[in-house]
A and B are shown apart, each in its own frame.
Chain A
């Protein structure tokens, strides 16, 4: 069965700290991987995505994620977080013609100034 696991449910960091959010997936076949972010009071929006090619993907606002096929992982990283990065982050996987997304449970990130 298709599934996505996010191991960190709640993360609290100080500004300038480095961030890594874990994401592991289980999916048969070719996958597309996504990180979505939901800032307080805003819509879900795409942070970055991986389809193929370079496994290191760069997204908006200095975020990046690395696809490691052997580990079924797609961890999100940022070298130095800011207070404005406070949000909920969702890892998701899709595949097939219907393009339906399977989401992880999300990680709430709180960055303290």
Chain B
């Protein structure tokens, strides 16, 4: 069966520090991968998606970046965090079929102080 892992579960970082959040998927090959952010009162916002290794599309300009070094690994990074980066970050995957449902990971709660 397919599983999706995210870590860390919670993270408290000072403003200006770097960030690396990792997401891995097991039990499937060549998935579409997605990073979302859930900010208070703003619902879920798509940040990045990837249809293959090294292929990243950015939905929202910001100081975050994403990378996909392996087929089932998706990393969200920042060189310098801002206060506004606080939120709940969710990774998701789907099969490469339009309209397929997405499966979400447990999420990472990031607090930037």
How many A-B contacts at CB < 8 Å in the complex? 66
Chain B interface residue number, banded: 20 to 34
Which residue of A is nearest B46, CB measured?
Answer: A100
Q: Is A70 an interface residue (CB 8 A)?
A: no
Which residue of B is nearest A9, CB measured?
Answer: B41
Q: Contacts A44-B90, A49-B101: A98 and B43 contacting too (C-beta < 8 A)?
A: no
B49 → chain A, closest Cβ, in Å? 5
Given A97-B98, A99-B102, A103-B46, 10 new contacts (CB under 8 A):
A95-B98, A96-B98, A98-B57, A99-B96, A100-B46, A101-B44, A101-B46, A103-B36, A103-B43, A105-B43
Q: Is A45 an interface residue (CB 8 A)?
A: yes
Taken residue by residue from 33 to 73, chain B's Cβ proximity to chain A (1 for < 8 Å, 0 otherwise) reads as 01010000111111001010000010100000000000000
- In the complex, which residues of chain B have a beta carbon less than 8 angstroms from the beta carbon of A32? 98-99
Please, how many angstroms separate the alpha-carbon atoms of A92 and B90 in the complex?
15
- In the complex, which residues of chain B have a beta carbon less than 8 angstroms from the beta carbon of A43? 104-107
Q: How many residues of A contact B (CB 8 A)?
A: 26
Most chain B CB within 10 A, of A9, A101, A106, is at: A101
- In the complex, which residues of chain A have a beta carbon less than 8 angstroms from the beta carbon of B102? 46, 99, 101
Taking Cβ atoms with an 8 Å cutoff, the residues of B that contact A are 32, 34, 36, 41-46, 49, 51, 57, 59, 90, 92, 94, 96-102, 104-107
Taking Cβ atoms with an 8 Å cutoff, the residues of A that contact B are 6, 9, 32, 34, 36, 43-46, 49, 51, 90, 92, 94-106
Which residue of B is nearest A97, CB measured?
Answer: B98
Q: Are B49 and A98 in contact (CB under 8 A)?
A: yes
Please, how many angstroms separate the alpha-carbon atoms of A100 and B90 in the complex?
14
B101's contact among A6, A9, A46, A105, by CB below 8 Å, is which? A46
Q: Are A103 and B45 in contact (CB under 8 A)?
A: yes
Q: Are B34 and A101 in contact (CB under 8 A)?
A: yes
